[in-house]
Amino acid sequence: MNNFADIGYPSKIRLVLILSILTIILSCSYAGEEARMTGQRITTVHMGDEIFEIPKNYLSPNVELPNKIEKENMIEISFFFPDFSGFAEGDSIATVGPYNSNQVTAFWTIVNAGGRLDANNSLKNALRFGLLERNKKLDIDGLTAYENLNGNGVTYHAQNNQGDDVLIHCTEGPVNSTCKLEYLDRASNRGVFASFDMKYLPRWLEINDKLLYLIKEWKA
């Protein structure tokens, strides 16, 4: 038997209205809870005159990270290949726990404070003081190679997609082999740095572009 059919027309109207109101209330409640949870997952980072709204899982594996923090001159984050996501369960910062070859650790400096990462100045000084020597045999993937004379490893010089000169220092160790990218971003006049496993050297441009995208995306 269809009980709904036995209800009078006015009662049907009232029932439909009640159900519609309940649906709206539940939807608003869900949206409010979602917004609250999203707020809890974001940390507002103050650095100089800039404000960044950064997902907590890019800053730390610690879920108890404060909702507001201040940084004096640099902001450090981590993301992971293959999808550039932040920390997940079981992940740790690069200096704690087992080595994760898919982890990228990066930072950017406050505006007008990245001069020490200027690739051109660093390269000129290293050549001047005999720390590097050009070695064409080590060129790879469009990167200009310089052999480190005071130890193992190679320093590569290149330009990113934004036209900035970039240095990438790569060293091979007994446990892992890493590359460290650094340069002065001329558009913002801030220093940019990223450390990643050497196996991702052919994808350094992708790493750099993703980092610049995140900085712009998170800037309030």
pLDDT tier at 35, thresholds 50, 70, 90: very low
The neighbour count for residue 73, using CB atoms within 10 Å, is 13
The domain total for the chain is 2
Mean pLDDT of 163-185: 94
Do 35 and 45 lie in one domain? The reply is no
Mean pLDDT of 16-44: 54
Distance (Å) of CA 17 to CA 23, 72, 127: 10, 55, 78
Per the rule left: phi > 0, alpha: psi between -120 and 50, beta: everything else, 57 is: alpha
At 162 the pLDDT is: 95
Residue-by-residue DSSP string for 121-174: HHHHHHHHTTSEEE-GGG-BTTBEEEEETTSS-EEEEEE-TTS-EEEEEEEE-S
- On the question of pLDDT at 71 being above 90, the answer is yes
Q: Which of 174, 187, 183 is nearest to 122 (CA)?
A: 183
pLDDT tier at 205, thresholds 50, 70, 90: very high
At 37 the pLDDT is: 35
| 52 phi and psi angles, rounded to 5 deg | -125, 135
Domain span holding position 33: 4-39
Do 19 and 102 lie in one domain? The reply is no
State the Cα–Cα distance between residues 172 and 210, nearest whole angstrom. 25
At 142 the pLDDT is: 92
Q: Which residue has the tokens 């650790």?
A: 105
- CA dihedral 120→180→81→93, nearest 10 degrees, is -130
The CATH number covering residue 153 comes to 3.40.1000
- On the question of pLDDT at 60 being above 60, the answer is yes
Run of H or E residues at 52: strand 50-55
Q: Model pTM? A: 0.79
**Coil, strand or helix at 15:** helix
**Weakest-pLDDT range from 5-19, 21-35, 58-72, 78-92:** 21-35
Give residue-wise pLDDT tens across range 105-155.
Answer: 999 999 998 899 999 999 999 999 999 999 999 999 999 999 999 888 999
Do 100 and 201 lie in one domain? The reply is yes
Do 24 and 118 lie in one domain? The reply is no
At 22 the pLDDT is: 59
Do 28 and 50 lie in one domain? The reply is no
Residues 179, 154 contacting (CB under 8 angstroms): no
